[in-house]
Structure 1
Amino acid sequence: MQRKKLFALYAVLSSLVFTNASGSIPAHAAQINQAVAVSSVSNDVTTAKEEVTLTKATIKKYSKKYTYKNKNKKVVMEAVYNRPVLKGNFDSLKKINKFYEKQEKEWLRSFENYLDDAKEFSEEGDFPIYNDNVSYEVTYNQKGYLSIVTSGYFYTGGAHGTPYTDAHTFDLNTGKELKLTDIMKGSDKTIKNKIYKAFEKKIKANKEAYFSDALKTVKETAGKKSNFYLKKGKICFYYDVYALAPYAAGMVEASIPFTSKDTFKIAF
């Protein structure tokens, strides 16, 4: 009998804590329940976010113009710099964005090294404005990997300017920049030989268009620099103007298809 009374008292006290006179749940109890519910939802969202695998990046173009004048307010140097900005609240994407922010700062320091010369020549008469135009192209953006080729054209007078290229490939889920050894199978020597054979085929097909030591240059430098990018169906290797051929030939490229047997670690 005593035990039944205790259980009855416990039931009444419990109802007083969570129910007021009108039979509704008091505000403080509702807040407790709400907090528990929010906590539960938040945990679910966090778990879902951690499981997200990025397959493709959303990219917005950032553009900035730089203008420099001499003491007479005459423009002596100018440039337009374009770079990619990856959208999304992921650490890996933020890491890639920081990489390109750093690239812009390094380019700017290099560009401004010419400012004194530009000012000096501008005082000698009708001298062309030094300028650079930096743009980029997304050549591969799928299956969790991103390749971007940045190109510039730096002009300081004369018949033509100097074009240049800089390419980088990233894992979208880690933000890591990939090296050739991350992409291709085999030792450094094996990878180098495959690149050499790709250029050898191209150069031998039209020897007159290249410098006589073009293949020697490839043999000595293939695989040592970050001179590659991904494109639909293949990996492309490149050399800038004057490296293997005269200016008119432009950038020289060779490629290896993704279907090449026993070549790639990643299924692009």
Structure 2
Amino acid sequence: MHAEMKKAVTVKTHKFMFNSNIKYPQISGMKNKLRQEKINSNFKKVAQQDYKERKKILKRYDKDRKELGLSKKDYASYEYKTFFTVKYNQNNKVSIVRTKYYYTGGAHGEYYSESYNYNTNSSKEVTLKQNFKTAAAYNKAATCTVNKILADKEKYPLADKNLNLNLTPYYWTNSKSGINLIFQIYEIAPYSSGQIELPMETTCK
């Protein structure tokens, strides 16, 4: 059995205003404490915005329900909540994926995710492109990845040639490529497929 890898940093869960529906991370253990403080402050500010948005949506629920003349029993409750997952936390790197879920009527709710990837030595955020030594290496990997997705119309019927990986959340992994991409609902496939996570291709097959 392999020994567990040492974690790069400690990530704790906080609840904004003690609300279990609005969870956000706070990091400790980065080398640059000033940048770490700014990162944590940003996470808290985002949580504050989420908290306000949740209050708006719950207030709107009562307004919409009353306009329709329905009781709470007959009208599904609106929802808004956020949570995060630590996807990678070793080798001086940490990947955190924040996910927002909201429901404001209709057939189903919606999910949306964004990622935060930091070098824990420098405490700087790392873009997808910065994982590659050259622009050419990134462009090749991006082209290979997009082409593979476009080639599988059965699985990814909504994907098109304008798919831009620069805007795609990602997280580090221990896989061959070392990177997984997160595609939002409806971005490359229908709602029933959910959010899709695929490895970044490094070579074209």
What is the SS of the residue equivalent to 1:207?
coil
Which of 87, 92, 96 is the aligned partner of 1:139?
87
What is the SS of the residue equivalent to 1:80?
coil
Specify the alignment match of 1:60 in structure 2. Answer: 12
CA distance in 2, matches of 1:170, 1:138: 12
**Does 2:28 align with 1:87?**
yes
State the identity as a percent: 24
Specify the alignment match of 1:201 in structure 2. Answer: 148
CA distance in 1, matches of 2:131, 2:14: 29
Specify the alignment match of 2:3 in structure 1. Answer: none
Aligned pair count reads: 189
CA distance in 2, matches of 1:128, 1:96: 36
Does the C-alpha gap of structure 1 residues 128 and 55 become closer, same or farther in structure 2, counting only changes over 3 Å? Answer: closer
RMSD: 2.8
Which of 125, 145, 149 is the aligned partner of 2:70?
125
CA distance in 2, matches of 1:232, 1:117: 44
What is the SS of the residue equivalent to 1:99?
helix
CA distance in 1, matches of 2:9, 2:63: 45
What is the SS of the residue equivalent to 2:147?
helix
How much does 1:55 deviate? 6.5
CA distance in 2, matches of 1:237, 1:144: 20
Specify the alignment match of 2:119 in structure 1. Answer: 171
CA distance in 1, matches of 2:142, 2:194: 19
| 8 Å CA contact retained: 1:138, 1:147 | yes
Consecutive unaligned residues of structure 1, counting only runs of 5 or more, are: 1-53, 68-78, 262-268
**Does 2:97 align with 1:149?**
yes
CA distance in 1, matches of 2:182, 2:143: 12
CA distance in 2, matches of 1:256, 1:139: 15
How much does 1:106 deviate? 3.0
Does the C-alpha gap of structure 1 residues 226 and 244 become closer, same or farther in structure 2, counting only changes over 3 Å? Answer: closer
| 8 Å CA contact retained: 1:241, 1:250 | yes
CA distance in 2, matches of 1:119, 1:82: 24
Highest Rg: 1 or 2? 1
Specify which structure has the higher proportion of helix: 1
Amino acid corresponding to residue 119 of structure 1 in structure 2: D
| 8 Å CA contact retained: 1:147, 1:167 | yes
What is the SS of the residue equivalent to 1:208?
coil
Specify the alignment match of 1:215 in structure 2. Answer: 160
Consecutive unaligned residues of structure 2, counting only runs of 5 or more, are: 1-5
CA distance in 2, matches of 1:207, 1:58: 41
How much does 1:131 deviate? 0.9
| 8 Å CA contact retained: 1:217, 1:244 | no
TM-score (structure 1 length as normaliser): 0.61
**Does 2:193 align with 1:249?**
yes
Amino acid corresponding to residue 42 of structure 2 in structure 1: F
Does the C-alpha gap of structure 1 residues 152 and 119 become closer, same or farther in structure 2, counting only changes over 3 Å? Answer: same
Amino acid corresponding to residue 210 of structure 1 in structure 2: Y
How much does 1:165 deviate? 0.8
| 8 Å CA contact retained: 1:199, 1:254 | no
TM-score (structure 2 length as normaliser): 0.77
